[in-house]
Chain A
Amino acid sequence: MLPTTEQALPCVRVCQMLSNLYKDIRLFRFDDKTGQVYILAGDQGGRIMSISKVYSQ
């Protein structure tokens, strides 16, 4: 399974939002079995905001 173009724009927007808020993106992963995109972002060490933006195909 490959990422779709429909997934691309949301990924860019979410990453842009995180960047605007000075949040490090710690992990970006496309799950090629489920077609989901996972984004983990947040501060090192301290309180971490975990974001799982799921875009099914």
Chain B
Amino acid sequence: MNQNYEQMSFTELRAYVGENREDIEALRFLMSKRDPNSKGYPMPVTEADMQAQMEIIRRKINGKL
């Protein structure tokens, strides 16, 4: 299946990707829509790293970041 990803909203595309897991092109396109300036986080190595990153994710979930 070759959908026109450009015409989908971000929400529609995300839902499509969830339903069409074998469509790797759609997944790549979805990921290409991410903000290129968004902050990246390194791999958590220590337990303290994991706790710190979990706190970051928790704040993102709560809309505080």
State the A residues within 8 Å of B (CB).
9-10, 13, 16-18, 20-21, 23, 26-27, 29, 31, 33-34, 38, 40, 48-50, 52, 55
Contact = CB atoms under 8 A, between A and B. Distances in A.
B27 A38 contact: yes
Interface residues of B, number: 19
Interface of B: prevailing SS: helix
Nearest to A20: B54
Contacts of A33: 24
Given A31-B24, A40-B17, A13 B57 contact: no
Given A27-B17, A52-B34, A13 B50 contact: yes
Interface in B1-32: 14, 17-18, 21, 24, 27-28, 30-31
